[in-house]
Chains A and B, each alone.
Chain A
Amino acid sequence: MSLRILFIIPVIILNASSLVAQLSGSNLLESQFGDTPFGDLDNRSVVYNQINLSYRHNDIWIQSRYELFLSPDPDRSYTELTQLRLQYRRDGFTLKVGNLYETLGRGLLLRSYEIPGSLYEDLGYRSRYSFFRDLEGISFEYRADLFDIKFLRGRPLLNILPPDEDKQIRRPDQLEAGQLKFRPYHFIEIGTAYMSTITEDEKQGFGSLQLDIVLPGGVQLYSEYATGLGEEHNPLGFEKSDAFAYYGGLSWFYGAFGASVERKHYNHFRMGISGFNDPPSLVKEHSYALLNRSTHVLETSNETGWQMEGYYQFRSGSRMTLNYTIAKNDLSKSFRYHEWFGEYLHRFSPGRNLKVFGDFARDDLKLETNRITGGIIARHQINHLWGTGIDLQYQQLERLPVHEGIIRNYYTSVSVSYAPALSFSLLYEHANDPNQVDDPRTREIETGFRQWLGFSGSWQYKTNHSFLLFVGKRRGGPSCTSGICYEILDFEGVEIRYTTKF
């Protein structure tokens, strides 16, 4: 039955192009033939399908998402309507009912999100599903020149649980919130928010104040303070037992130079069981594979720190970026995270550039010291159609006293592209990290090294269709996209993804 659905869905989609213009949608079909190394199953082949349907008529917009997962383990297979939303927007009013994405301020109290196109899977459930944290409920917003006002009520998603789990368990928290933003002048915005939460029958209140000023001379200041309210909290106490969060950001530009300085201080500020807030982590979000994987994940129970970043754009189009990050966690003891990062991109001509980067870090929470990462990335446009690139990265670190010796990670990628829609790349990774080499299923401690070799290709056909192919071994680990960090599993085998829009 499920397999029939799988064949029927693409046929419906591909014939839907002729339907009325207000109906649009997309379909993502992904199949994996292979398995997670060190997993409990061999040759595990799975199929995932996601269909998004959108209907628009004047001011009304209806959106739905239907997900299907077929696994050799029948307990993990599911077909679920995972999102349904009705939205009405007119003359500054917006009303949303169903599955919503809402953020208050800069996310100190509440942030919901979706990582478009990403699928989440963990070793416990071995179920694949789209990665988002939405709210199920209702929101109302009015935007005017002078002010914005928003009210919402909903249940945020605990997104580490798959769609077929019980709804009460997946949405364990309930919240009601209101936010007012007032703009007396075009360069200043003052905001305030109140949020009431219920988790396991315990009711709590929180409030925040926000200030956003755009000053002459390229200066912008943003400041937000959020705190627990009620008898058990002192809003201005700043004691270790108080729940509060402060974020401040100052940015400045002058000609081709730009800089930002940011400050954070969070204490007892993880919201609910689902952790539905997401204050800015103030850690550089790297696009380099080895650095992205080594990121520091924010600990909202206690974290203070700074981040400073500067850019300079040369007249030739070359560019330099420098970043310094420091974070401190006072938990059972004090832990520090330091990172110095520098990057220089040299632009020889349009289509030809060379980028070098270097990074030095220390991460007490991970017991990592002397973490040195460097790399060189070259891009060369051969002619108006063909391009090629090479990406070489190296990382070494110490994890004493847990692991003896120097831990080394290597990353190499060679890519070829054919404009506008075709590209291939060959990826090779090598690591002697004991966390990667040791097989957790055995009592012995395996040593040596592991290698990952993979081939990937992508092809976009017309405006509607795109294909992705991966063959080989892919290294997993932490990954951060759009400020959200999550674990990706290792994979070994063949993965095919077909996406279509209509």
Chain B
Amino acid sequence: MLLVAGTAYAQLPDFELRDLQNRSQSYEDVKGSKVTLIDFWATWCAPCIEAIPELIALQSRYKEQGLEVIGINIDSQRNLSKVRPFVNSFGINYTILLDPDSEVMPMMQLSVMPTVLVVDSHTNNIINVYEGYRPGVAAFIEEDIKKILDDE
């Protein structure tokens, strides 16, 4: 009984954050047309950085089909000056939003870094949650993306 609770636990609430150009962007402004991946990360988080090349590859592969990856950076003001050069030197090809006060993670009841949310952009339902980074996890995220695209 303890382990049979539902899978899609929540609908993603809309949020509004600044991007690297200091523009205010809401989730609705930047989400994918069909699927959205939301990655919570920071420059000081080693497993978060390990996950980034996998997200870059997914964005390249599925952007044309309606995927958008959104990286929500939660570096505090301590590291904020490092984020822009880090993102550009890393060649990150998706939207980065800044959340230095970590407002969005608690909204979604999240506490693990990194966490990747797979969101169906039509319903805004959170289809899957991947907490922490483990080698091989990108293949599971890709399966989720394909499943949402196939259901279209």
Please name the residue on chain A nearest to B4 by beta carbon. Answer: A14
Question: What's the Cα separation between A209 and B77 when bound, in Å?
Answer: 16
Does A333 reach chain B (CB closer than 8 Å)?
Answer: no
Q: In the bound complex, what is the Cα–Cα distance between A351 and B10 (angstroms)?
A: 31
Cα–Cα distance between A86 and B74 once the two chains are bound (Å) = 23
Which residues of chain B are within 8 angstroms of A281 by Cβ–Cβ distance? 78
Chain B: residues with Cβ within 8 Å of the partner, total of 65
Known contacts A458-B132, A463-B128; A257 and B79 CB within 8 A of each other: no
Contacts of A14 in B (CB 8 A): 1-2, 4-5
Q: Which of A63, A106, A257, A384 contacts B139 (CB 8 A)?
A: A384
Task: Tell me whether A214 and B22 are in contact in the complex, defined as CB-CB below 8 angstroms, given that A117-B111, A286-B44, A462-B7 are known contacts.
Answer: yes
State whether A103 touches B85 (Cβ < 8 A). Answer: no
Shortest CB distance A298–B (Å): 9
Q: Say yes or no for A302: interface residue by CB 8 A criterion.
A: no
Contacts of A259 in B (CB 8 A): 85
- Pair A101/B131 contact, Cβ less than 8 Å: no
A116 near B105 with CB under 8 A, answer yes
B109 and A26: CB pair below 8 A?
yes
Inter-chain CA distance A17–B7, complex, in Å, is 9
**Count: A-B pairs, CB below 8 Å:** 216
Is A280 a contact partner of B78 (Cβ separation < 8 A)? yes
Query: In angstroms, how far is the closest chain A Cβ from the Cβ of B31?
Result: 18
| Inter-chain contact B6/A464, CB cutoff 8 Å | yes
> Are A312 and B89 in contact (CB-based, < 8 A)?
yes
Contacts of B9 in A (CB 8 A): 17, 24, 463-464, 501-502
* Chain B interface mostly: loop
A10 to B134, CA, bound (A): 28
Tell whether A121 is near chain B: CB-to-CB under 8 Å: no
Which of A21, A117, A309 is the one whose CB lies under 8 Å from B10? A21
Q: Are A106 and B77 in contact (CB under 8 A)?
A: yes
Q: Please report which residues of chain A, range 211-256, place their CB below 8 angstroms from some CB of chain B when the two chains form the complex.
A: 212, 214, 218, 220, 222, 249-253, 255-256
Bound form: Cα–Cα A56–B77 in Å: 29
Tell whether, in the assembled complex, residue B23 and residue A381 are in contact, meaning their CB atoms are under 8 Å apart: no
- Decide yes or no whether A419 CB sits under 8 A from chain B: yes
Contact A483 B1 (CB under 8 A): no
Question: What distance in Å separates the Cβ of A355 from its nearest Cβ neighbour in chain B?
Answer: 8
Could you pull out 23 A-B pairs where Cβ atoms are within 8 angstroms?
A24-B9, A24-B109, A52-B109, A107-B76, A145-B24, A214-B21, A218-B88, A260-B81, A262-B81, A280-B80, A285-B43, A285-B44, A385-B136, A387-B135, A417-B134, A419-B136, A419-B137, A420-B134, A420-B137, A463-B126, A482-B74, A482-B78, A501-B110
A residues touching B (Cβ–Cβ < 8 Å)? 10, 14-15, 17-18, 21, 24-26, 28, 52, 54, 56, 61, 63, 101-103, 105-107, 111-114, 116-117, 143, 145, 183, 186-187, 189, 212, 214, 218, 220, 222, 249-253, 255-260, 262, 278, 280-282, 285-287, 309, 311-313, 317, 319, 347, 350-351, 353, 379-381, 383-387, 417-423, 458, 460-466, 482-484, 499-502
State the B residues within 8 Å of A (CB): 1-11, 13, 16, 21-24, 42-46, 50, 53-54, 57, 74-82, 84-86, 88-91, 100-103, 105-107, 109-112, 126, 128-132, 134-137, 139-140
